[in-house]
Every structure is written in C-alpha cells, then in structure tokens.
A and B are shown apart, each in its own frame.
Chain A
C-alpha cells in the first residue's frame, strides 16, 4: 500500500468504526436496564419484605444475582471505554518514552512544529501537560487548551500527592489547599519522594498565578505564539520568563499541518514517561492509553557510551501492555531507536535492536532513525507506521470487540443459569400453581367484572336510546342564543353605506342575505359538531373505564379513551393475531369503536338547509317562493334591516324546531355502536378463549402482585437468550 491512498484508508477505518459505536451504546443501555431489574429482584427478596416467607427469601438470595451484577458492572466499564475509543475522530499515535530519549524531537519531526510548541524533555521544562497534535489542513497552527475545574484539579492532581506522601487528608477546596501547611512526613525520605514534594510545593506556592484558570471555559482557543505559555515552565527562547499556566492545564490539542500532508486523520499524542514529572502519571497514562491511543511508538536513545534495556524500559512496556487489556502490544507498537546525527551511537542502536526480544519487549517493528531529522522521520518512520496502522487497526479493533463479546457471552451464561434457577423457584416464591392463580383471576375479570359491567352499560343505553342527548340539547340552546345575539345584521347606517358602496340597494341586500345565512349556518355547525364529539367521547371514556376497572388498568399508563387505542395496539402485536379469529374479532371491535364519530354534516345539516331558503338570494334557477323575498318599491335601509331581522328570526325558529326532532338520534347511535362493539368483543364465537390467551400473555403486567415474581424474572429471562446481548 502506498501513502497515496493511506489517507482514504484511514478515513474509511474511522467510518467503519461508527456502526460499532451504535451497537455498543445499544448494549450499554440494555445492560443498564438489566442492572436495574436485577436490583429489583434483590430488593424484592430483601429481608424487609413482609409478603414473603423466610423460605421464599432464602430461595431468592440463593440465586446468582450478585455474580451477574458484578459482570455487568465490569462490562459497562469496558464498553464505555470502547465506545470512547471508537467515537474518536482521529487515529491516535501515542509516543511513549522517558525524558531525554528524543521523544520531543520525534514529535517535532513528525508534525513540523518547533520546540516552542513541543518543548524538549529537558528536566526543567517538562510539565506533564498532555498534548496531542492533530493534523489539520488549515495552514494556521492553533491550539485548544482544556483546563481542570476545581474539583477535578483537587481530585486528580493534588490528592494523589497527599495520599502517596501521607500528608493527611487531601484538601477539599482550593482555599484549603492554599493555606494548609506543607510538611513532609517522616516516612517520605527518598529522593523520589522529595522531588515529588517539591512539585506539590510548587503547586501551592504559585496558586495565585494559575488559580483563575481552574474552571475556565474549555476549550480556550489560542494562536501558535501563545502555546508555550500553557505548556512550559519557562519560555523556550528566554529562560528568564516563567509561566505558571501549565499547572491548571489538563491537556492541549494542537492543530497544524503535518509536513506530509497526506497523512489524513491522524493525531500524535505525547505521553509522559514514568517518574518524569509528578504523581499520577501512571494512572493518567493507563487511562489515556486504553481510551485514546490506537498505536504506540516507543522511543529510546541509547547513550553512545554504552546502553542496554533497563528495568524502567520493561516497566514502561508493562504498564502500556496492561492498559491495553492484554491485547498484546506486539501488534501495535513500534520501537524507535534514536540514532544521533554523526552516528556516534549507531552501534549501540544496533545492540538494542538485537537484544530487544530477549527482554520480551515485543513490538511489531524496530526502526533505527534520527528522530531529530525531519526528512528521515518522514521517510523512514512515518510510512511504515501509517502502513501498519492501515493494515492492522481493524484487526485490533476487532480484538477489543471480541474481548467484550466474550464477556457478554459469559454474562449470558450467568443469566441463563439465573433464569433457570429462578424458574424453578417460581412455585416456591409465588405460591400455588401459576395457572390456577391465573384462571381465578381471569374468571373474576371476565365473569364478575367485564361482562356484567358491559351488559349493565348496554341496558342503560338501551333504556335511554330515545332520550334527548344532553350535550346536543345544550349545544342547540347555546347556538340559538348566540345566533340571536350575533345575527350578523349590521346597524342601519352600515346598511346604507353598503348599498352606496355596492351601487345598488339590491346588491347590498343580497350580500347581507349571504352574510346572515352563512353566520347562522356556521354557528350551528361548530356548536353541534363539538357537542356530538363530546357525547361520543363520553361513551368511549365510559367503555375505556370499564375495561380499566375490570383489571386492565395496569396494562397501560394511558387514561380515558387512550386506553382503547393502547389495547388496540397490544391486540395488533399479539402473536396469535393472524391466526386467531376470535382475536381478530376483538380487534375489529376496538378499531371500529375508536374510529366512530358523529358529525353535524351527516346528522343535521340536510335538515337545516331547507330552512335557510328564505335567506338565499334569488338567482337563475332559484326563484320564486323558496328563496328570499324581493325588495319592494323604494326600499330603504330600514326595510332591509326589518326584513333581515324577520327572516333571520324565522329561520332560527324553524331550525330550532327541526333540531328538537333529532335530539334523540345521538342516543340511538351511541346505543347502536355499543351493541356492535359488544357483539365483537363479548359475544362473538370463541372470544372468551381469545381474551384468555391475550391476558395470559400480559399477566405479569395486569396482575403485578400475583405474578410479581414472574414479572421480575421475565426481564432477565428475556436477556438470557443467546443473541440478545451482542455487539455483532
């Protein structure tokens, strides 16, 4: 593979990771739910539960729930890390090495930055600020600075010092830290301890310089020139200038254009070595490695006076290996042996290369090169690295996934065992035979409650089927009253004006006829439609309530008429739906009931229409008796007003009379639809056994208490099935 399409390959790798991100998130969610349910099981079997006997409680505590919970917790951590890894936008190359091994030079060569942005690992300048350099196509170099917040600073930076140096309880606030006396205990006497103590004192002494940055909004965007201010102790060009900001900085992300423009979405991360700076490095490195790094470059510069692989090298290697969950550094690390210009340590380099294996420092490749020479780095180190990443990264990703997948399978096994034992203990915990319990409950539901209640309602509706519908009655009353108050007939002056505007009094008259007529018609339509809807909804609510009372209230959280819709949904998704005729009938009943509506347009409008004839202006085809009377000789605005008022009152009176006749129709309709509904859900052939099946399937929800145990274990029974929890 050539570097030309490395960029594309890397982009593709990042894209290919995305689906995994979703799957991991999915599994994490399921694990959360599972955790919650298992916790419920534990709570249920709690010694304080008075509904259970001691024997039952013992049976519950004998289940391997704790084991499952433990596995879940561990998995959740691993998956979170994995998700973070796959969500990254770049492939990250971590550069690990102790101070003075040429790490900084290597980074400078790789990225094209100078020692201003990547300080040499001079003991004096080294700060432990984690910095990563990301390749960006923009020509300007800039950086984002991330600060600690106060609690993070105290917890992650300061507290480890107190613990390791046994200085007492770590301070709980910055204020406290600033005033506390620092004295080293008698136990801490090694040079390392003393050095670390100095670090801590430095943090305290210079608090005022950087305190304002703790909790500063992150990230802070800075330009190239400012970078040293945040990552070094002294200005690289003038050691008299001291900086303190770094003490508050958690990490810096630098964006610049790498010399090799075609590297694609790559970032290099500077990883501090062991013992180089302060306490807490090891933990930080491990967490960084496990979440942030896809590939490692170890850097080692042998002294020309003689060098060998030391314990510290092995230690560093081991830490790195541990952090990667034992997926073996072998495949994704290179060892860079830094050759000095002039070849003074060339032989030592070759020695190291030869002996690397004997110390079990297993890496994929070992490369000798001058890290300070940009061209060498670009040609000798970078291509093989990119090449290797492109080739193997998916394998490595896969290994991580597989590790998690194995853990998931283990969890599944635990759950299966749990489910089996829980199933066996059902009888013990829930009492009598499950089916007997169900049968009694169903009889109660069907015979005692549902059937009786529905029949009672039906009889009531039958008796009232010719009664006036109160909603409609009220609506008509209101509509009439409003029509009387708001006739739409303007005052005489307006009429006069109108006839002048229209140019003829007849036109004004016809216009007004239309206005009055439309007003009247719309008035009734809106009132009546509303009232009809109300009556229908009242019936639906009543029916829904009956089902709720009979026992289905716990099947859904819905109230009122929405219960019916919910039941419809559940019926639809019921497994037997397609083949069970009884179920289909029940489903039909609910569907028809839900869709049922009464409309003014069908019920009343035709009957009202004819009474509006006298408010209809004559036109071709509509003349004579059945339309508005013509204006007489010399009509005036007063005449028009008088006529409109009279015709309006007449229409209103007749409409009212007409509507009184149909006040009972809604009652009849409501009775009819109820009859049809009951025919479907109560009386059709085989519906009782269909209901029985339906309720059996949902028994844990409906009768939570009786089937509580069943309900509790149903969840993890579900998840114990193979394939339920998987990243594949």
Chain B
C-alpha cells in the first residue's frame, strides 16, 4: 500500500468521554465483512489496530455475560489512529482508511488539533450518549455530550470547508440506544429529542451555503443489542453513573444496525469520488472496475439502508444517492 497522504480517507470520531467511540469502531469493524461482501471489498486493520480492537470487542462481549453491567469499558487515553487498508478481496489494499479516535477530554484541552483533524476528515462520526440525552429529562446531556462544544468546533471547521474537503458527511450516531428504539414510536421520540438537543449544531449545518455540501444522517446503533438502561446513580455530586442490564439472563450478544454506519459512510465516499475528477477517481476505476456487478451492489446497499425508525437523512440526500 502506498503511503501517499492522498490515498487516505479520514474519518474523525467525535463524542463524549466514555460514550464508546472505540467500541463503536470495533463493532463496525466486526460487521464489515458481512456488510461489504457483495462489493467484493475487504478491510484490513494494521496490527496495532487489530490488537486494540480485538481487546475492545472482547470487553464488549463480556458485558453480556453478567445480568447487570455495572462496570464500564475503559476509555481511550490519548488520540489514536486506527488504520485500515481497504481493497479488493485477494488484492492489495489501495486505500487507507484512517479513523481518528480521541478521548472526549482531548477536545477541551486541544481544540486546535481537533479542529485540524476535522478539517481533514471527509466523514465525521459523532457518537452520542443516548441515555444521557434521554434520561432525567436530559439533565446530563450537556455535561456528558457537550453539544455546545461540538457546535463551536463545527463553526470553525465550516469556515474552512472550501479549502479542505469541500463536502462532508456528518453521521450522528446515538449509541447505547437499545432502550429507546424498540418500537417505532420510541425511535421517533429519540429522533425528535436528538433534533431538539442538537438544534444549534443542526442549524449551523443546514445554513443555505452548506445545504448542498454537508450531509447529515442520524444512525442509532445498538452495539450490544440485548441490554437496557436501568438507572442512574450519582456516585458523587454531579457525577452520574449510568447502569445497564441484560433484558434477560440468557440474552446473547446481538448488535444491531451497526452496519448502517458503514453503509452510509461507504456510499458517501463512493459517490464523492465518483463525482470528483481528481486523482482518486483513477484509483477507484482501477480498483472497482466500475463494473455492473459493482454498480448493482452499490445500488443495493443504498436501497438497503435504513432510512426510518430512528434513521433519517437530515440533509444532503443527493450526496448519498446515485441517481443517473
């Protein structure tokens, strides 16, 4: 694989400390193969990446071994890059996917660095701690999810949009949302609450000048599937701990809709670089041979994307669809 910076696709993960960004990544990686097999693609992590992700995955699965999951998963301590090689099955990786993951506290302490990461990212994956947003009438949302801080970050980034990636996909991914998407009416409530709680950010993003350049989707993911939020306890003043439990002792590890993130990300990227006359197109052409099967597979992926029950493309639908 070439070490060319231009071969890199940057995906930045934002979100609160301990919300589960790394874990989310591990889950996404775990689902990758089944999601993209029709496309004949394969994702290859670097060895460091592999080790960490495996560990994370194991920790995640361990959550389902006990009825009440009181312990959390240890957070990331410093910014990390997770590198994947994206290529055709059986061939060398042509493209590097770099997921930038950093601890929630990092944004506060090094805002400039973070801003430059986001400037370079095509896709921003915003992980949202759903219980913090939904429970206690959202009392902990500001503290845990820091929506204002996120909005402020984007203000800066958007100013540089023309000079950097020109278009972006913002995936707002509510995680730990098992308790809130079981029925349609609940999922819709989740969506509504999200829109209310992120109004400043959404208003920023759907300003006229950005409507056609930024796509925003909401993708609630259930990384465990068989757990529920059970209660909040304050371990100290202003220090809430969220507790979860399995729905029943024999429930299994069954993540859901994790692959949707991947579907949206991939279709965005593919569409972007199909439209771009630049360098990447050649690579893509070589890689994918733009054959009919590939096209069909991509269209199928688009069709299979969930766009309801909590999932919604808030803006920039054109950037995600392949209309000929």
CB distance from A649 to the nearest CB of B (A): 5
Partner-binding segment picked from B52-60, B205-213, B242-250: B242-250
Contact of B199 with A by CB under 8 A: no
Q: Is the CB of B249 within 8 A of A635?
A: yes
Q: Is the CB of B232 within 8 A of A650?
A: no
**Residues in B whose Cβ lies below 8 Å from that of A632:** 248-250
Given contacts A639-B67, A643-B67, A646-B68, are A653 and B249 in contact (CB under 8 A)? no
Q: Is the CB of A633 within 8 A of B250?
A: yes
CB distance from B152 to the nearest CB of A (A): 31
CA distance A633 to B67 in the complex (A): 13
Given contacts A639-B67, A646-B68, are A629 and B249 in contact (CB under 8 A)? yes
Given contacts A642-B68, A646-B68, are A625 and B232 in contact (CB under 8 A)? no
Pick from B67, B230, B243, B247: contact of A642, CB under 8 Å: B67
Q: Is the CB of A653 within 8 A of B231?
A: yes
Contact of A657 with B by CB under 8 A: yes
Given contacts A639-B67, A643-B67, A657-B136, are A649 and B248 in contact (CB under 8 A)? no
Q: Interface centre among A629, A643, A652, A654, by most B CB within 10 Å?
A: A629
Contact of A631 with B by CB under 8 A: yes
Residues of B contacting A: mostly:
mixed
Contact of B182 with A by CB under 8 A: yes
Q: Interface centre among B136, B230, B245, B249, by most A CB within 10 Å?
A: B249
Q: Is the CB of B230 within 8 A of A646?
A: yes
CA distance A234 to B250 in the complex (A): 111
Pick from B136, B230, B247, B249: contact of A639, CB under 8 Å: B249
CB distance from A709 to the nearest CB of B (A): 67
Interface residue ranges of B240-267 to A (CB < 8 Å): 243, 245-250
Given contacts A625-B182, A643-B249, are A649 and B230 in contact (CB under 8 A)? yes
CA distance A632 to B249 in the complex (A): 5
Question: Please, how many residues of chain B have a CB less than 8 angstroms from a CB on the other chain?
Answer: 16
**Residues in B whose Cβ lies below 8 Å from that of A654:** 231
CB distance from B150 to the nearest CB of A (A): 27
Q: Is the CB of A650 within 8 A of B230?
A: yes
Pick from B67, B136, B182, B250: contact of A646, CB under 8 Å: B67
Q: Is the CB of B249 within 8 A of A649?
A: no
**Residues in B whose Cβ lies below 8 Å from that of A630:** 248-250
**Residues in A whose Cβ lies below 8 Å from that of B231:** 649-650, 652-654
CB distance from B64 to the nearest CB of A (A): 11
**Residues in A whose Cβ lies below 8 Å from that of B66:** 642
Encoded as 1 (CB less than 8 Å from any A CB) or 0, chain B from 56 to 76 comes to: 000000000011100000000
**Residues in B whose Cβ lies below 8 Å from that of A652:** 231
CA distance A635 to B250 in the complex (A): 10
CB distance from A640 to the nearest CB of B (A): 10
**Residues in A whose Cβ lies below 8 Å from that of B68:** 642, 645-646
**Residues in A whose Cβ lies below 8 Å from that of B247:** 625, 629
CA distance A647 to B249 in the complex (A): 12
Q: Is the CB of A653 within 8 A of B232?
A: yes
User: Can you name 22 A-B pairs with beta carbons within 8 Å?
Assistant: A625-B182, A629-B247, A630-B250, A631-B249, A632-B248, A632-B249, A633-B249, A633-B250, A639-B67, A639-B249, A642-B68, A643-B67, A643-B249, A645-B68, A646-B68, A646-B245, A649-B231, A649-B243, A650-B231, A653-B231, A654-B231, A657-B135
The 4 A-B residue pairs whose C-beta atoms are closest, nearest first, are A632-B249, A653-B231, A629-B248, A632-B250
